[in-house]
Amino acid sequence: MQKNIVILISGRGSNMEAIVAAAIPGARIAGVISNRPDAAGLGFAAERGIPTRVVDHKAYPSREAFDAALAEAIDALAPDLVVLAGFMRVLTDAFVSRYTGRLLNIHPSLLPSFPGLHTHRRALETGVRVHGTTVHFVTPTLDCGPIVVQAVVPVLPGDDEATLAARVLVQEHRIYPQAVRWFVEGRLSFDAEERVRVRDELAGPTGWTVPPVEA
């Protein structure tokens, strides 16, 4: 039985592209939803015949009203998994609770370091030697929740925000499809402390994968 994946975007949609391009066996991209009508990623999805929908947050009087409309659009696609891929809205607890255990996000830092915005700038300002990206299940606390997989990149002398972001993005495109694949294959489970376990001999017992370090 195929699992329905609904992907939420706000802009470029390169992570969405990576997940679509991965053509994960057993996964069907049921739809792509954006809160912004001008999100570039909508074009990519439409060209591939993936149903697209805009739920414009500006058309709703409150966060609750927007989240209710968003949930209605998502549920119409009968999702097994909802994937936040550069979706730039803070979601209400009610929304997050509705999709407990089937809502993933990617964040451009090694959580719990640098939750929130401008992660690459803050990593450079802090002087960390390694930086990276995290795929996690979404819980009500912003940029928090059980970690599925992380990838690490070096911070190199001479890096600026753009070069560091580009290096991290390469790894985002690698680990997000991988996390979705694990979910679809039923390999993700939680231990008593809600830490994620991955049943995958290649990933190791904790789901860590370490990408090759770039020169």
> What does the binding site for ligand GRF look like in residue numbers (CB under 6 A)?
9, 11-15, 85-86, 106-108, 169, 172
User: Is 57 a known active-site residue?
Assistant: no
Q: How far is the CB of 42 from ligand GRF (least distance, A)?
A: 11
Nearest CB to ligand GRF, comparing residues 118 and 199: 118
Q: How far is the CB of 13 from ligand GRF (least distance, A)?
A: 5
Q: How far is the CB of 59 from ligand GRF (least distance, A)?
A: 22
Catalytic, out of 107, 120, 131, 173: 107
What residues contact residue 174 under an 8 Å CB cut-off, 6+ apart? 18, 151, 211
3-class secondary-structure state, position 43: helix
Nearest CB to ligand GRF, comparing residues 39 and 184: 39
Cα–Cα–Cα angle for 65, 32, 169, rounded to 5 degrees: 110
Nearest CB to ligand GRF, comparing residues 56 and 72: 56
Check if the beta carbon of residue 171 is closer than 8 Å to that of residue 153: yes
**Would you please indicate which residues are annotated as catalytic (active-site) residues?**
107
